[in-house]
Protein backbone atom coordinates (compact mmCIF):
# COMPACT_ATOMS: atom_id res chain seq x y z
CA UNK A 1 0.00 0.00 0.00
CA UNK A 2 1.26 3.49 -0.79
CA UNK A 3 2.42 5.56 2.17
CA UNK A 4 1.97 9.34 2.41
CA UNK A 5 3.69 11.92 4.58
CA UNK A 6 0.91 14.44 5.16
CA UNK A 7 1.74 15.05 8.82
CA UNK A 8 4.27 13.51 11.18
CA UNK A 9 1.35 11.60 12.69
CA UNK A 10 1.56 9.39 9.58
CA UNK A 11 4.78 7.94 11.03
CA UNK A 12 5.21 5.44 13.82
CA UNK A 13 8.23 5.75 16.08
CA UNK A 14 9.79 2.90 14.07
CA UNK A 15 9.19 4.78 10.79
CA UNK A 16 10.67 7.92 12.34
CA UNK A 17 13.80 6.16 13.50
CA UNK A 18 14.14 4.33 10.17
CA UNK A 19 13.98 7.60 8.20
CA UNK A 20 16.30 9.42 10.63
CA UNK A 21 18.94 6.71 10.49
CA UNK A 22 18.58 6.35 6.71
CA UNK A 23 19.23 10.10 6.38
CA UNK A 24 22.28 9.94 8.65
CA UNK A 25 23.63 6.90 6.74
CA UNK A 26 23.01 8.49 3.33
CA UNK A 27 24.77 11.67 4.45
CA UNK A 28 27.75 9.71 5.76
CA UNK A 29 28.07 7.62 2.57
CA UNK A 30 27.90 10.74 0.40
CA UNK A 31 30.41 12.67 2.51
CA UNK A 32 32.92 9.87 2.99
CA UNK A 33 32.79 7.92 -0.31
CA UNK A 34 30.79 10.16 -2.63
CA UNK A 35 28.12 7.43 -2.81
CA UNK A 36 24.73 8.73 -3.87
CA UNK A 37 22.69 5.48 -3.49
CA UNK A 38 20.58 5.63 -6.69
CA UNK A 39 17.57 3.66 -5.46
CA UNK A 40 14.98 5.53 -7.58
CA UNK A 41 16.31 4.93 -11.10
CA UNK A 42 13.58 5.52 -13.68
CA UNK A 43 11.17 7.08 -11.15
CA UNK A 44 9.60 10.51 -11.60
CA UNK A 45 8.76 12.86 -8.75
CA UNK A 46 6.35 15.75 -9.26
CA UNK A 47 6.59 18.91 -7.17
CA UNK A 48 3.46 21.10 -7.05
CA UNK A 49 4.25 24.39 -5.33
CA UNK A 50 1.65 27.06 -4.63
CA UNK A 51 3.95 29.09 -2.33
CA UNK A 52 7.56 30.20 -2.81
CA UNK A 53 10.45 27.95 -1.76
CA UNK A 54 14.22 27.90 -2.01
CA UNK A 55 15.38 25.06 0.25
CA UNK A 56 12.53 22.58 0.06
CA UNK A 57 12.17 22.73 -3.70
CA UNK A 58 15.87 22.58 -4.55
CA UNK A 59 16.71 19.95 -1.93
CA UNK A 60 13.92 17.66 -3.17
CA UNK A 61 14.97 18.15 -6.81
CA UNK A 62 18.65 17.54 -5.97
CA UNK A 63 17.68 14.55 -3.81
CA UNK A 64 15.77 13.01 -6.72
CA UNK A 65 18.73 13.45 -9.07
CA UNK A 66 21.09 11.87 -6.53
CA UNK A 67 18.71 8.93 -6.14
CA UNK A 68 18.85 8.34 -9.90
CA UNK A 69 15.37 9.64 -10.70
CA UNK A 70 13.93 12.74 -12.32
CA UNK A 71 11.65 15.49 -11.07
CA UNK A 72 9.06 17.72 -12.68
CA UNK A 73 8.42 21.11 -11.08
CA UNK A 74 4.84 22.32 -11.36
CA UNK A 75 3.92 25.86 -10.40
CA UNK A 76 0.35 25.48 -9.14
CA UNK A 77 -0.73 28.83 -10.56
CA UNK A 78 0.19 27.63 -14.05
CA UNK A 79 -1.99 24.53 -13.83
CA UNK A 80 -5.70 23.94 -14.17
CA UNK A 81 -5.82 23.78 -10.34
CA UNK A 82 -5.73 27.59 -10.50
CA UNK A 83 -8.81 27.44 -12.76
CA UNK A 84 -10.66 25.28 -10.25
CA UNK A 85 -10.20 21.84 -11.74
CA UNK A 86 -11.31 19.58 -8.88
CA UNK A 87 -8.51 18.26 -6.72
CA UNK A 88 -9.76 14.71 -7.13
CA UNK A 89 -9.44 14.96 -10.92
CA UNK A 90 -5.94 16.42 -10.83
CA UNK A 91 -4.84 13.78 -8.33
CA UNK A 92 -6.13 10.88 -10.41
CA UNK A 93 -4.50 12.21 -13.59
CA UNK A 94 -1.08 12.97 -12.07
CA UNK A 95 -1.03 9.53 -10.46
CA UNK A 96 -0.82 8.11 -14.00
CA UNK A 97 2.27 10.14 -14.93
CA UNK A 98 4.29 10.20 -11.72
CA UNK A 99 5.67 7.91 -9.01
CA UNK A 100 5.42 10.38 -6.15
CA UNK A 101 4.36 13.97 -5.47
CA UNK A 102 5.67 16.69 -3.17
CA UNK A 103 3.10 19.43 -2.55
CA UNK A 104 3.45 22.87 -0.96
CA UNK A 105 0.15 24.64 -0.58
CA UNK A 106 -2.07 26.58 1.80
CA UNK A 107 -4.75 24.21 2.93
CA UNK A 108 -4.04 20.92 4.66
CA UNK A 109 -7.47 19.76 3.46
CA UNK A 110 -6.38 20.25 -0.18
CA UNK A 111 -3.40 18.02 0.51
CA UNK A 112 -5.47 15.40 2.33
CA UNK A 113 -7.98 15.27 -0.51
CA UNK A 114 -5.17 14.99 -3.04
CA UNK A 115 -3.78 12.02 -1.12
CA UNK A 116 -7.19 10.33 -0.92
CA UNK A 117 -7.46 10.28 -4.72
CA UNK A 118 -3.82 9.65 -5.65
CA UNK A 119 -2.35 6.15 -5.77
CA UNK A 120 1.21 7.43 -5.35
CA UNK A 121 2.96 8.72 -2.19
CA UNK A 122 2.07 12.34 -1.40
CA UNK A 123 4.55 14.34 0.66
CA UNK A 124 3.65 17.55 2.48
CA UNK A 125 6.26 20.21 1.65
CA UNK A 126 4.46 22.78 3.88
CA UNK A 127 0.88 23.82 4.43
CA UNK A 128 -0.51 26.56 6.66
CA UNK A 129 -0.88 23.89 9.34
CA UNK A 130 2.25 21.72 9.16
CA UNK A 131 5.79 21.40 7.78
CA UNK A 132 6.68 17.76 8.52
CA UNK A 133 9.74 17.32 6.27
CA UNK A 134 11.30 20.38 7.93
CA UNK A 135 10.97 18.94 11.42
CA UNK A 136 12.37 15.59 10.28
CA UNK A 137 15.48 17.41 9.07
CA UNK A 138 15.54 19.44 12.29
CA UNK A 139 15.49 16.33 14.44
CA UNK A 140 18.26 14.85 12.30
CA UNK A 141 20.29 17.98 13.06
CA UNK A 142 19.55 17.68 16.78
CA UNK A 143 20.73 14.05 16.61
CA UNK A 144 24.00 15.14 15.00
CA UNK A 145 24.71 17.84 17.57
CA UNK A 146 23.32 16.21 20.69
CA UNK A 147 23.45 12.48 19.87
CA UNK A 148 19.77 12.05 20.73
CA UNK A 149 16.37 13.71 20.53
CA UNK A 150 14.85 12.44 23.77
CA UNK A 151 15.76 13.74 27.21
CA UNK A 152 16.56 17.14 25.71
CA UNK A 153 14.83 20.41 26.45
CA UNK A 154 13.71 22.18 23.27
CA UNK A 155 12.31 25.71 23.32
CA UNK A 156 10.32 27.34 20.54
CA UNK A 157 10.26 31.14 20.63
CA UNK A 158 7.90 33.16 18.42
CA UNK A 159 4.85 32.29 16.36
CA UNK A 160 2.97 29.04 17.10
CA UNK A 161 2.92 28.26 13.38
CA UNK A 162 3.10 25.32 10.96
CA UNK A 163 6.66 24.37 11.95
CA UNK A 164 5.75 24.60 15.66
CA UNK A 165 2.72 22.35 15.04
CA UNK A 166 4.95 19.76 13.38
CA UNK A 167 7.28 19.79 16.40
CA UNK A 168 4.23 19.03 18.53
CA UNK A 169 3.29 16.16 16.22
CA UNK A 170 6.86 14.90 16.52
CA UNK A 171 6.29 14.81 20.25
CA UNK A 172 3.11 12.79 19.76
CA UNK A 173 5.24 10.16 18.05
CA UNK A 174 8.54 10.42 19.95
CA UNK A 175 7.65 11.98 23.32
CA UNK A 176 9.65 15.21 23.47
CA UNK A 177 10.21 17.93 26.05
CA UNK A 178 9.03 21.13 24.37
CA UNK A 179 8.41 24.62 25.70
CA UNK A 180 6.73 27.26 23.57
CA UNK A 181 6.99 30.99 24.19
CA UNK A 182 4.50 32.84 22.01
CA UNK A 183 2.61 36.11 22.35
CA UNK A 184 -0.91 35.84 23.72
CA UNK A 185 -3.16 34.64 20.90
CA UNK A 186 -0.30 33.22 18.81
CA UNK A 187 0.22 29.94 20.68
CA UNK A 188 0.14 26.60 18.82
CA UNK A 189 -3.21 24.88 18.31
CA UNK A 190 -4.38 23.44 21.69
CA UNK A 191 -5.96 20.42 19.94
CA UNK A 192 -2.60 19.49 18.41
CA UNK A 193 -1.02 19.79 21.87
CA UNK A 194 -3.80 17.75 23.45
CA UNK A 195 -3.22 14.97 20.96
CA UNK A 196 0.57 15.01 21.55
CA UNK A 197 0.02 14.69 25.29
CA UNK A 198 -1.54 11.28 24.70
CA UNK A 199 2.07 10.16 24.41
CA UNK A 200 2.92 9.87 28.11
CA UNK A 201 6.51 10.92 27.42
CA UNK A 202 5.45 14.28 25.94
CA UNK A 203 6.26 17.29 28.10
CA UNK A 204 4.75 20.39 26.50
CA UNK A 205 4.68 23.76 28.20
CA UNK A 206 3.24 26.96 26.72
CA UNK A 207 4.04 30.40 28.10
CA UNK A 208 3.90 34.02 27.01
CA UNK A 209 7.30 34.65 28.60
CA UNK A 210 10.33 33.84 26.39
CA UNK A 211 12.73 33.99 29.37
CA UNK A 212 10.76 31.27 31.14
CA UNK A 213 10.75 28.96 28.10
CA UNK A 214 14.50 28.97 27.44
CA UNK A 215 15.94 28.38 30.92
CA UNK A 216 18.60 25.64 30.65
CA UNK A 217 17.29 24.34 27.33
CA UNK A 218 19.48 22.40 24.88
CA UNK A 219 17.85 23.78 21.74
CA UNK A 220 16.31 27.17 20.93
CA UNK A 221 14.25 27.29 17.74
CA UNK A 222 12.64 30.23 16.04
CA UNK A 223 10.91 31.01 12.75
CA UNK A 224 9.49 34.06 11.00
CA UNK A 225 6.83 36.10 12.77
CA UNK A 226 4.60 36.25 9.67
CA UNK A 227 4.44 33.05 7.64
CA UNK A 228 3.75 32.88 3.91
CA UNK A 229 0.20 34.00 3.24
CA UNK A 230 0.22 36.32 6.29
CA UNK A 231 2.46 39.02 4.86
CA UNK A 232 -0.30 41.63 5.34
CA UNK A 233 -0.01 41.10 9.13
CA UNK A 234 3.76 41.66 9.13
CA UNK A 235 3.82 45.26 10.42
CA UNK A 236 1.30 44.51 13.16
CA UNK A 237 3.11 41.33 14.20
CA UNK A 238 6.47 43.15 14.41
CA UNK A 239 5.02 45.16 17.29
CA UNK A 240 3.36 42.21 19.04
CA UNK A 241 6.37 39.87 18.74
CA UNK A 242 9.05 42.43 19.67
CA UNK A 243 9.90 40.79 23.02
CA UNK A 244 10.23 37.37 21.34
CA UNK A 245 13.47 37.96 19.47
CA UNK A 246 16.12 35.26 19.87
CA UNK A 247 19.09 37.44 20.78
CA UNK A 248 22.20 37.01 22.90
CA UNK A 249 20.40 37.98 26.13
CA UNK A 250 17.88 35.19 25.56
CA UNK A 251 20.45 32.61 24.45
CA UNK A 252 22.44 33.26 27.67
CA UNK A 253 19.55 31.76 29.68
CA UNK A 254 19.82 28.44 27.84
CA UNK A 255 22.38 25.72 28.60
CA UNK A 256 25.92 26.92 27.74
CA UNK A 257 26.16 24.38 24.89
CA UNK A 258 22.65 25.05 23.56
CA UNK A 259 22.21 25.14 19.80
CA UNK A 260 20.10 27.71 17.97
CA UNK A 261 17.95 26.59 15.04
CA UNK A 262 15.88 28.36 12.40
CA UNK A 263 14.23 26.71 9.40
CA UNK A 264 15.03 29.79 7.25
CA UNK A 265 14.39 32.13 5.54
CA UNK A 266 15.37 34.37 8.49
CA UNK A 267 14.57 38.00 9.12
CA UNK A 268 17.62 39.35 10.93
CA UNK A 269 16.67 41.92 13.55
CA UNK A 270 13.16 40.48 13.86
CA UNK A 271 12.77 36.92 15.19
CA UNK A 272 16.56 36.47 15.48
CA UNK A 273 19.45 38.87 15.89
CA UNK A 274 22.29 38.95 13.37
CA UNK A 275 24.70 38.15 16.20
CA UNK A 276 22.90 34.92 17.13
CA UNK A 277 22.16 33.78 13.57
CA UNK A 278 25.82 34.16 12.61
CA UNK A 279 27.15 33.22 16.04
CA UNK A 280 28.86 30.05 17.32
CA UNK A 281 25.69 28.44 18.68
CA UNK A 282 23.78 28.73 15.42
CA UNK A 283 23.51 25.47 13.44
CA UNK A 284 21.27 26.83 10.70
CA UNK A 285 23.55 26.04 7.74
CA UNK A 286 23.97 22.40 8.74
CA UNK A 287 20.23 22.30 9.44
CA UNK A 288 19.56 23.59 5.95
CA UNK A 289 22.00 21.14 4.36
CA UNK A 290 20.23 18.31 6.13
CA UNK A 291 17.09 18.99 4.12
CA UNK A 292 18.91 17.39 1.19
CA UNK A 293 19.92 14.27 3.12
CA UNK A 294 16.59 13.98 4.90
CA UNK A 295 14.61 14.39 1.69
CA UNK A 296 16.71 11.64 0.07
CA UNK A 297 15.78 9.38 2.99
CA UNK A 298 12.08 10.29 2.80
CA UNK A 299 11.93 9.63 -0.96
CA UNK A 300 13.90 6.41 -0.59
CA UNK A 301 11.66 5.06 2.16
CA UNK A 302 8.36 6.08 0.51
CA UNK A 303 9.17 5.45 -3.16
CA UNK A 304 11.88 2.80 -3.50
CA UNK A 305 9.68 -0.26 -3.14
N1 LIG B 1 12.75 26.00 5.40
C2 LIG B 1 12.08 25.96 4.23
O3 LIG B 1 11.12 25.21 4.04
O4 LIG B 1 12.58 26.83 3.31
P5 LIG B 1 11.96 27.17 1.87
O6 LIG B 1 10.69 27.95 2.11
O7 LIG B 1 13.03 27.94 1.18
O8 LIG B 1 11.65 25.86 1.19
N1 LIG C 1 6.49 29.29 8.95
C2 LIG C 1 7.14 29.62 7.70
C3 LIG C 1 8.08 28.54 7.31
C4 LIG C 1 8.85 28.80 6.04
C5 LIG C 1 9.74 27.67 5.67
C6 LIG C 1 6.10 29.86 6.62
O7 LIG C 1 5.12 29.11 6.56
O8 LIG C 1 6.26 30.80 5.86
Q: What is the mean pLDDT of each run of 10 residues along the chain (305 residues)?
A: 96 97 97 93 98 98 97 97 96 98 98 98 98 98 97 98 98 98 98 98 98 98 98 97 98 98 98 98 98 98 92
End-to-end Cα distance, the chain: 10
- For ligand 1, atom 1, name the residue with the nearest CA: 263
Protein residue with least CA distance to atom 1, ligand 2: 227
Separation between Cα atoms, residue 166 and residue 34, nearest integer Å: 32
CA dist 222 and 243 (Å) reads: 13
Beta bridge partners of 180: 156, 206
Query: Contact at 8 Å (CB) between 125 and 60?
Result: yes
Enter the CATH code of domain 134-283. 3.40.50.1370
pLDDT at site 1: 82
Domains 8-130+288-303 and 134-283 share a fold: yes
Sign of CA dihedral 209, 230, 177, 219: negative
Nearest CA to ligand 2 atom 7: 227
Residues 6+ positions from 277 with CB-CB distance below 8 Å: 260, 262, 266, 268, 284
Buried b (16+ CB within 10 A) or exposed e, 80-98: ebeeeeebeebbeebbeeb
Q: 257 CA to middle of ligand 1, Å?
A: 26
pLDDT at 305: 74
Cβ 281 under 6 angstroms from ligand 1: no
Can you tell me the distance from the alpha carbon of 209 to that of 157, in angstroms, rounded to the nearest whole number?
Answer: 9
178: three-class secondary structure by DSSP = strand
Q: For residue 96, report the distance from its CA to the centre of ligand 2, in Å.
A: 31
The protein residue with its alpha carbon nearest to ligand 1, atom 6, reads: 53
Q: Confirm or reject: Cβ of 12 under 6 Å from ligand 1.
A: no
**Under a CB-based contact definition with an 8 Å cutoff, are residues 98 and 120 in contact?**
yes
Determine if the peptide bond prior to 265 is cis (ω within 30°). Answer: yes
Just give the CATH number of 8-130+288-303: 3.40.50.1370
Residue of 53, 52, 71 whose CA lies nearest to 61:
71
pLDDT for position 105: 98
Cα-to-centroid distance, 200 and ligand 1 (Å)? 32
135 C-beta closer than 6 A to ligand 2 = no
Give SS3 for 200: coil
Instruction: Tell which residue, 106, 124, 101, has the closest CA to residue 5.
Output: 124
Ligand nearest to the Cα of 134, by number: 1
Q: 103 pairs with which residues across the strands? A: 48, 124
Q: Are the C-beta atoms of residues 154 and 219 closer than 8 Å to each other? A: yes
Which ligand has the nearest atom to the CA of 102? 1
Neighbours of 46 (CB within 10 A): 19
pTM of the model: 0.98
Say how far apart CA 7 and CA 302 lie, in whole Å: 14
Domain extent listing, the chain: 8-130+288-303, 134-283
Q: Distance from the CA of 114 to the center of ligand 2, in angstroms?
A: 21
Q: So what's the pLDDT on residue 201?
A: 98
Amino acid sequence: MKKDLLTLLDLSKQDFDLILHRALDLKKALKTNGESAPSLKGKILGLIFDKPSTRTRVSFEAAMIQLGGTSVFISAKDTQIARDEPVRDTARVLTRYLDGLVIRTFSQEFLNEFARYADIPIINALTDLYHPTQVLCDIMTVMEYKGRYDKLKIAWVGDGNNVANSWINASAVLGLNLSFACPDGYEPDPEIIKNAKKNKKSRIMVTNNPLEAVVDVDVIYTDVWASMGREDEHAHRKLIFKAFQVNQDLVKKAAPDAIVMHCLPAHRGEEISEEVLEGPQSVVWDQSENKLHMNRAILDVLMAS
